[in-house]
């Protein structure tokens, strides 16, 4: 019988002196808060631990003082005896370029085609990587402090869409309950994530929602955020998850297409689907990628043309294979 990867990971971390934790490009709440929790657990064990991501921490997490320790850049492999990659299907997802000589640990709750690391722990049934690292704490012999428990709770809470998404399993809820018992405050986490907006952000929300265009007999909701919406409000970086959530809340909507103007004639299109619409297949058609229910791609051209033609193409694709039920990966 193969060794339990959790035992292998715990043994490696206990034997290490300095380890680094990294996660994927455009890191999310799950990967960020889990990285912090894992680094803190390592410090409780007397290890030096650093968190290094290629991409900066986005809002609302960039406002969390405890996440300010995260370094943005490249990992110097010779500085660490172990590198932990969270939620990276392959090394390139981390944006880290010098990891070839490093001893790598791969922890992921998505299906991964390439068990690329020296130790691989892939559990697609896990609701979040935060839940996996909470599980790992038992193998490390570490009882999470209230701060660590709160980070892990925040990871699970954000990855389940505050317990709305399909990964809100008994396992997710059991871990959340246990973390609350260990000192995580669900109220404080919800306040930080959802009740922390600037007034300009709420004004922007109004503008973006006013752009709503229903297509494909109500199956597709298209919204847009243009520079002319954000610039007068002085907003450079915006968390748009709530805008997507509101568009997705419309009865009958299977796909949200969110056009974001990145520069002159350049638009990032985020796709969020529910039900059978396969966002990843749709994004691949336009040279992008992602997951079954969350994906994206970039298009170039005049906004008025793109916002008409790209949804029309998507509507046609939805009538084909991209409209078929997704596989088991999520």
Residue nearest to Mn ion (CB): 30
**By C-beta, is 150 or 159 nearer to Mn ion?**
159
**By C-beta, is 128 or 322 nearer to Mn ion?**
128
- Least Å distance between CB 129 and Mn ion? 5
- Least Å distance between CB 141 and Mn ion? 25
Work out the burial of residue 73: count CB atoms within 10 Å of its CB; fewer than 13 is exposed, 13-18 middle, 19 or more buried: exposed
**By C-beta, is 159 or 229 nearer to Mn ion?**
159
- Least Å distance between CB 280 and Mn ion? 16
- Least Å distance between CB 298 and Mn ion? 23
Given the rule CB under 5 A, which residues bind Mn ion? Answer: 30, 128-129, 159
- Least Å distance between CB 299 and Mn ion? 27
- Least Å distance between CB 312 and Mn ion? 33
**By C-beta, is 128 or 292 nearer to Mn ion?**
128
**By C-beta, is 37 or 128 nearer to Mn ion?**
128
**By C-beta, is 148 or 172 nearer to Mn ion?**
172
């Amino acid at each position: 019988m193969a060794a339990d990867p959790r035992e292998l990971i715990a043994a490696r971390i206990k034997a290490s002196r300095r380890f680094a934790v990294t996660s994927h490009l455009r890191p999310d709440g799950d990967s960020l808060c889990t990285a912090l929790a894992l680094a803190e657990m390592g410090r409780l064990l007397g290890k030096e631990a650093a968190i290094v991501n290629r991409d900066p921490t986005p809002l609302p997490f960039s406002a969390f003082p405890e996440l300010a320790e995260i370094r943005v850049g490249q990992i110097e492999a010779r500085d660490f005896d172990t590198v932990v990659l969270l939620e990276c299907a392959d090394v390139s997802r981390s944006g880290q370029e010098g990891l070839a000589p490093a001893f790598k640990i791969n922890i992921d709750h998505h299906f991964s085609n390439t068990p690329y690391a020296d130790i691989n722990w892939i559990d697609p049934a896990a609701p979040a990587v935060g839940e996996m690292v909470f599980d790992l704490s038992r193998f490390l012999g570490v009882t999470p402090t209230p701060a660590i428990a709160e980070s892990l709770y925040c990871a699970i809470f954000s990855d389940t869409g505050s317990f709305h998404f399909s990964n809100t399993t008994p396992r997710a809820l059991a871990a959340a309950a246990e973390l609350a018992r260990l000192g995580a405050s669900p109220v404080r986490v919800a306040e930080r994530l959802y009740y922390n907006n600037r007034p300009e952000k709420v004004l922007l929300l109004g503008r973006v929602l006013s752009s709503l265009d229903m297509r494909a007999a109500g199956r597709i909701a298209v919204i847009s955020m243009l520079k002319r919406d954000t610039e007068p409000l002085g907003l450079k970086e915006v968390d748009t998850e709530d805008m997507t959530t509101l568009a997705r809340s419309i009865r009958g909507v299977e796909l949200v297409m969110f056009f974001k103007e990145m520069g002159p004639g350049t638009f990032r299109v985020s796709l969020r689907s529910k039900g059978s619409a396969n966002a990843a297949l749709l994004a691949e058609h336009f040279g992008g990628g992602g997951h079954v229910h969350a994906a994206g791609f970039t298009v170039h051209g005049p906004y008025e043309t793109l916002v008409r033609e790209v949804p029309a193409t998507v509507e046609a694709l939805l009538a084909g294979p991209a409209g078929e039920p997704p596989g088991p990966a999520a």
